[in-house]
Structure formats: structure tokens, C-alpha cells
Structure 1
Amino acid sequence: MDTGDIVWVLISAALVWIMTPGLALFYGGLANKKYASNTVFLSVIILGIAPLVWSVLGYSLAFSGNGKFIGNLHNVLLNGISFSKSTMNLNIPDAAFMLFQGMFPIITVAIITGSVVGRVNLKAMLMFIPIWLITVYTPLAHMVWGGGLLAKLGALDFAGGDVVHISSGVSGLVLAILIGKRRKLKDENDEPDNIVNVVIGGALLWIGWFGFNSGSALAANSTAILAFVNTSIAAASAMVMWFIIDFIRTNKAKITGALSGSLVGLVVITPAAGLVSPTAALSMALVATPIVYFLINFLKNKFHYDDTLDAFGFHGIGGIIGGILTGVFAFKENGGLIATGSLKQLGIQGVAVIFTIIFAGVMTFIIAKLISLVVPLRVEESVEIKGIDYELHGEYISILGSTQFNNRFHTGNK
């Protein structure tokens, strides 16, 4: 065991954990005042649910056994997990590996909630979260990182393009379509609730992503450094590119736009972080950013779905582009198209992306339909119109939000 590697992986695990509170603030700051608290709550409660699911069953299903699609129950309740030795030929104990990997399902399922905030039934969502983690996340983690089907195929996913971003983005889209569009008052708009929270949340996501990508090297080595550098370059260049495009189109210098751009860069580089050069990281961000920028609104206007906070737009589309570009820019030893002139790895990446889309989409549809037989997927119309924060939570992210609720609904001034 290597003490330096252990320390780095533990620090990285903490950085990945902090991404979910960061996402809560980021989402909550962007959300309408009627459901800003509900938006934050959905991420916060996942901090409790996901680690329990992972410890009891998820880790075992993801990283035990040699099945093509799923692991086994050998490590249920963390049975047999060593705190001093590795069974995976790593320089860190199995328990450290388990802890680091266990931070990823937290942020993954939290991303999904951004597609449906404002109208999803809390009871339905609380049922959906553990079921999705067991039936969608853990099989994908096993297939990509646990020696399963996609790993055997040769798919490259350094830190979670397929497992985290495509799966959450596509699942969010399916839920958004099944639940339907938000109901709004005539004078209601989608102005962000709290720009300061967006900035704080964006900063926490950015710094947490260094652990997300660099920690995926599972050692304090040159690959970790490369992933760290690539993550920084991709986020920065995508931020600048998004700002330029948005400023030209709107003549407004938006804080939310700049941070949205950084998010695109972070998502796109995730599957390739330790597998490409810094120049490639820059290229991936510059290629992906305009595609994501224009495709988000085009798809929403074309197909009329309500992806509330663009979870599919940023994570789904960004993850798909990142997964494909990994096959283009990967180092020669990883079969990248530019380095080898061969289309083989690009084809493998395409198969992995398509498989992930279909698997996550179909499974999410099935889970949601089964839950709808027990409880409605959507809150009542009156609750949605008045605002879930007012009706369900009784607490507000901002004083302004509380004041507006009191003026509008307590006085009957609608």
C-alpha cells in the first residue's frame, strides 16, 4: 500500500462528495423561487440515500464477481472489504476504492433531479432514487469499471462519461417527458432565484471535479496530474467559448452563462481526462461547447419537452459528445483516431454511448411506470401552481422568495 496514493484518493473522495452540495446550490440558484428549496432538498436528501444504497448493495453489485452485466452479492453490507489490502492490484485498500467509487452515484442521481424539479412528486422521487441506483447505475458501473460487457468491448470512460453523465442526462430526459411540462402562472418567468448561490455552487462543482477526474487515476501519479490539467483547461476554455457565443448573440455578459460553459467543459472532458493530451482537452472543449450551446434550445423547441434545468442538455448531450471525442483524441496506446488513423476505437465508443442511452432510457421508463402504479409521478396542480416550496417544505432559499409567497398567496393577491 502507498500512503501518498491513499491520501490522494481519500481527498478526492471528499472532493467528489462536495460536488452534490455544490450541485444543490447551483440548481437551487437557477431554479424558480417557487421550487428553489425543493430543488436543493432533492440533492441534499440524496446525500443520505445514495451512500446507504451503495454500502448495503450497490458496491457489491458493481465491483464483485465477473458477470457481463452485473456483479454478485459477495460484498453485501461491505462484507469482506479490506481496510489494509487490495484485491484489485491497486496501491490503495479495497475500502478506499469502495469509498471513492461510492461518491459517484450520489452526484449521478442528483443530476437527474434537475430535469423534473418544480412538478415531481416527492414520494415518487424518493422511491425512484434507490431503485434507479440499483438497476441502472450499478450495472453500468460494473459494465464499464467492474470488468463487465463494455470493459470487455474496450470502451474508454476514464471518470464517468457513460456511467455518470449520459446515464443521468438520458434518465432525466425520460422522466421529464413522462411527467410533462411545468404549469406556470401568466406572469411567471424562469429568472434564477439566486445568482450568488449559482456562483458558489458552480465553484464547488468545479473544484470537486478535480477529485472526480484526477482521483479516477486511483493513485497520486502522472495520470492524476494529466487529468487535473486537462480538467482545468477544458473547463476554462469552454467557459470562455460559451461566453463569447452568448455575448455575440444576446449582447449580455451573463454570470450563469459563463458558469454553464465551464460545466460543459467539465462534462466533456470527464471520459477522456487521463487519456488525452492537454491540447486535445482544449480541442474537445472548443468543439463541444458550440454544439451543446445551440443543440439545447433547438431540441427543446423541436420536441417540446421541459428539461427544467437542462440536466439532459448539459450532461446528456455533453457526455455523448465527450464519449465520442474520446475515441478521436485518445493517446495512441488507447486507439485514438488521430493518433492511430484507425476507426476501431471510435466505433467502440459509439457502441458504448448508444448502449448507455438505450439502457438508461428504457430502464428509467420501466421504473417510472412501475412507480406510477403506486403513487403519481407528479404533484397536484394546486401544489405546483402555488409552489412546492410553499406547500410542501415551508422554507425558502431566499428571503425574497418567502416575501413573494406571502404577498401572493397569503393575501390572495394572484
Structure 2
Amino acid sequence: MKKRPEGRALGVRALVLLLPVFALATPAFADTGDTAWILTATALVLFMTLPGLALFYGGLVQAKNLLSVLAQCLAIACLMSILWVVAGYSIAFGDGNGAVEGGGALWGGLGKAFLAGIAPDAAVGTIPESVFVMFQMAFAIITPALIVGAYAERVNFAAVLAFSGFWMLLVYAPVAHWVWGGGWLAAMGVTDFAGGLVVHATAGVSSLVFVLMMGKRAVFPAELRPPHNPAFVMLGASMLWVGWFGFNAGSALGANASAGQAMLVTHLSAATAALVWMAIEWTKFGKPTLVGIATGTIAGLATITPAAGSVGPAGALAIGALASVVCYGAVVYIRSRLKIDDSLDVFAVHGVGGILGTLSVPVFAGFGPMAPGLGSMTFGEKAVAQLTGVVSVCVYSALVSAGILLAVRQIMRLRVSPEDEANGLDTATHGESAAGHS
């Protein structure tokens, strides 16, 4: 008889002895397949900010401001990670006790600050709560990072950090609780599958408030130059597209049919929006630009986000087409008519897209094959709920953002000096240059 190697026998015995430890470390109700998918989705959502959004925005600004945008995205990612654990997660997903009559809680309270009371084997649905914390942290990272595109090329870096920190705790986290944490909008039946309200509407409206309070760039609009690196824009948009599968399909919180359908409709909306935006530019200017195609892609992704769990493929095609038509119109109107200097069109693309997608849910929920429908709600009930969600989130975001900016402005400047703006934030703020030194 062949003798089993002693090392292998020891390895088997060690594995048997460790099995109870592994069992204790795994939540009783956790599903390994769901957990593996949400771990992957979490990495994809973080990939959207670092490096996706950073490159997308970095390519759109002037070369002398490239590093400043990258630094803002990176610093925001680090700061939000810490603040999410300190208090953000508790505000968004804690139990809270601020109930209002006829609705749910207004916020989650601070009972889970520093993740207090969360046992190592705690579960949320079929995944460990630690995984859920990390997945939601990635959303809390990208949302304030979206606002970077509004104040790019003229903002004071210290103001970015101060505003972003308070904004995540006072705007993002409470709204996340209203919609996803069992709050009053959830009780009303508002649908926001992956962040049309919680992410895009909050960031878009707050961007508009920020730039109105800070003022225009010195070169706006007469001396604006085209993006310095369209290749970066395309690469960043492509990373965002791939990462968005974690954003939307991951919001099903499991490896299931809902995740599969969310991924399908997300892709279709992005592809349709990219082609429609390209067609608009081609017809209007005679040339289809790479930046335009990339921007259309982002518009389609932002707009399908709240509806990704509520529409079928036909609805996704319609939403993608609408996204480009409406968001393109918003870009032109805000820049040319209103003369508002939202540097990289955050409100026109993300804000308008998120709002449009949210309001589209009752319209397209039963449109075409594979559409899941509205369930127990009528069209009218759903439309009222979605409109209530849009109005309340937009008004709240605007008011609180203005309050934060007024407070920050008391202790520091919101924007750099005219000289630093002219020289570029890379050297003026960070003492570095993307072009290197000779």
C-alpha cells in the first residue's frame, strides 16, 4: 500500500481543525456566491472613482489642472472611507429613532458609529454585514467625487476636503437612509435601484449650488479651451462603464436574476446613449467627437441607474435615447443660456440624468418583454412617489449644501487666487506638474 506523505496528512488534519473557525467567521445566513459577487462589485465601484472618474475628469480639464483633479479624487476617496466608518454608515443604515408620523426614520442615528454593535458574523440578507459596509462605502466615495467636475480648475483644495466631508455626512448619508435605509421615502414606495436620487441627484444639485456660490472661471465662457486629453476621457469613461456593472448589478445584493437583468439594461442604455449623443453632434457640427461619445455613455449610465431594477431591454433602449437628448439639451441650456460655469457638466449629465431616470420608472416599468412592472402600485401612485422623491431630495441637497458652503467660507476661501488659477492648480496647489521637469 502506498503511504500518504506525512506533510499532506498534517495539512489535512490542520484543515479539519480549522473548519470550526471558518464556520464561526462566516455569517449563518451568508451565501458564498452572493458574497463573492458583492466583493467583486465593491471593487468595481471603487474602480469607478480610482481610476475611472479621475481619468475621465482629468482628461476634460486643461493640462495644468490634471494633477489637481487626480489629487481631489484620491483624497476624497481616503477621507470618505474613514468618515463612513466613523459615522456615515450609522447615519445611513443604523436603526435610528427619529421616526415621523406616517413615515420612516429621518436618519439612522449614531448607534453604529465606528461600526459599534456589528458582530463579525452579522449578515445583511445573504451577505456578511462587513461586505455590505464596504459596498456602500464605495458609493459614499464616488458621490462627493462626482462634484469635483463642477468646481474643477479654480477650487481651493482645503475647501474640497472640508465640503466633501460634511456633505457626505449631512447630505449623502441621510438621503441614503431615506431611500435605502428604511426611511420615509422607502416607506412611500420610492424606487431608486442604484442611486439616481441618492448619488446623481444629490451630487448634481449640490454641484450647481457650489458653482453658483463660488463663481465662474476667469476664462468662462469666452476663452474656454477643448479638453486637453480626449484619450484620457475615453479611457476613464470605459472604466466607468465597466465599473457601473458593479454599481447597478451589485445593487441587487446577490448573484441572481435581478443582477443579471440590471447588468443587461445598464449596458443597453449606455450603448444607446453613446450613439444618440454621437448622432446629435454629428448632425449639428458635422463631426462625431470622441469626448461626445464618452459623455453620452455616462449620461446613459446615470439615467438608467435608478431604473435598472424596474425596466426591461426595450425600456433601457428608450431611456438611453432620452438620456442623451435631455442631457445634451441641459448642457447647452446651462452653459449657453444660463451662463453657469459647471466646469464638466455635472448637473446637466449626472443631476438631470438621475432625475430623468427616477421619473422614468413608472413610464417604462411595464414596457416591452422582460419588464417587471410596478407590482402592487398603480401608475399614478408610483409617479407621485417618484416625483416626491425627486423634489424632496433636490431641495434638501440644495439647502444643506448651501449651508455647508456658507460655513466653510467663514474659515477658508472656496477658490484660489486669480494668479493661481491662471498658472494652474497643479503647480499652485500641489507643487507638481504632469509634464515633469526638464
Question: Could you say whether these structures have the same fold, taking a TM-score greater than 0.5 normalized by the shorter chain as the test?
Answer: yes
Q: Please tell me the residue identity of whatever aligns with 2:374.
A: G
Amino acid at match of 1:391: A
**Superposed displacement of residue 190, structure 1:** 2.2
Normalised by the length of structure 2, the TM-score is 0.87
- Contact 2:220 2:341 (8 Å CA) reproduced: no
Equivalence for 1:335: 374
2:270 and 2:297 in contact (8 A); partners too:
yes
Paired letter, 1:310: D
Q: Distance in 2 between matches of 1:269 and 1:333?
A: 15
- Partner AA of 1:7 in structure 2: A
CA drift of 1:394 comes to 2.5
Task: Give the conservation status (yes or no) of the 8 Å contact 1:83–1:96.
Answer: no
Per the alignment, residue 48 of structure 2 pairs with: 19
SS at 2:379 equivalent: coil
Q: Secondary structure of the residue that 2:121 maps to in structure 1?
A: coil
After superposition, where does 1:125-144 map in structure 2 within 5 Å? 125-144=160-179
Match of 2:65 in 1: 35
Is the aligned partner of 1:153 residue 2:182? no
Distance 1:261 1:123 in 2: 32
Following TM superposition, by how much is the alpha carbon of 1:192 offset from its aligned partner in structure 2, in angstroms?
1.1
CA 1:334/1:151 → structure 2, altered by over 3 Å: closer, same or farther?
farther
Q: Distance in 1 between matches of 2:221 and 2:195?
A: 40
2:153 counterpart of 1:118: yes
- Give percent identity, aligned residues only: 39
CA contact (8 A) 1:166 1:317 kept: yes
User: Following the alignment from structure 2 to structure 1, what is the Cα–Cα distance between the partners of residues 63 and 107?
Assistant: 41
**In 1, are the aligned partners of 2:196 and 2:305 still within 8 Å (CA)?**
yes
Q: Which residue of 2 aligns with 1:361?
A: 398
For the residues of structure 1 that align with 2:210 and 2:221, how far apart are their CA atoms?
A: 25
Instruction: Say whether the 8 Å CA contact 1:238–1:261 is kept in structure 2.
Output: yes
Corresponding residue number in structure 1 for 2:340: 305
Structure 1 SS opposite 2:186:
helix
Task: Work out the CA distance in 1 between the residues paired with 2:37 and 2:418.
Answer: 49
Question: Does 1:293 pair with 2:328?
Answer: yes
Structure 1 counterpart of 2:101: none
**Secondary structure at the counterpart of residue 359 of structure 2:** helix
Q: Which of residues 195, 199, 202 in structure 2 aligns to 1:164?
A: 199
Q: Offset at 1:188?
A: 4.7
Could you say which residue in structure 2 is the equivalent of 1:391? 428
Corresponding residue for residue 118 of structure 2? 81
Consecutive aligned runs of 4 or more in structure 1 exceeding 6 Å deviation: none
Mapping 1:225-264, distance limit 5 Å: 225-264=260-299
Conservation of the 8 A alpha-carbon contact between 2:273 and 2:320: yes
Equivalent position amino acid for 2:31 in 1: D
1:352 equivalent in alignment to 2:381: no
Corresponding position of 1:64: 94
Q: Does the C-alpha gap of structure 1 residues 54 and 300 become closer, same or farther in structure 2, counting only changes over 3 Å? A: same
- Corresponding position of 2:14: none
Give the corresponding residue for 1:320.
355
Residues 265-289 of structure 1: per-residue CA shift (max 9 Å, x gap): 1000000111111111111111221
Q: Structure 2: which amino acid aligns with 1:51?
A: S
Paired with 1:138 and 1:334, the residues of 2 have a C-alpha distance of: 29
Q: Give the Cα separation in 2 of the matches to 1:30 and 1:345.
A: 38
Deviation, structure 1 residue 191: 1.6
Structure-1 separation of matches of 2:220 and 2:88: 42
For residues 136 and 325 of structure 1, the distance between their equivalents in structure 2, rounded to whole angstroms, comes to 24
**Residue 13 of structure 1 contacts residue 103 of structure 1 at CA under 8 Å; is this kept in 2?**
yes
Corresponding residue number in structure 2 for 1:44: 74
The residue that corresponds to 2:315 in the other structure is: 280
Rate the CA distance shift 1:182–1:6 in 2: closer, same or farther, 3 A: same
Where do 5+ consecutive residues of structure 1 fail to align?
Answer: 407-414
Does the Cα contact within 8 Å between 2:91 and 2:107 map onto a contact in 1? yes
TM-score (ref. length: structure 1):
0.92
CA–CA separation in structure 1 for the residues paired with 2:154 and 2:33: 46
How many pairs were matched up? 397
Mapped contact 2:157–2:429 kept (Cα < 8 A): no
Name the CA shift for 1:156/1:340 in 2 (closer, same or farther; >3 Å).
closer
Partner of 2:245: 210
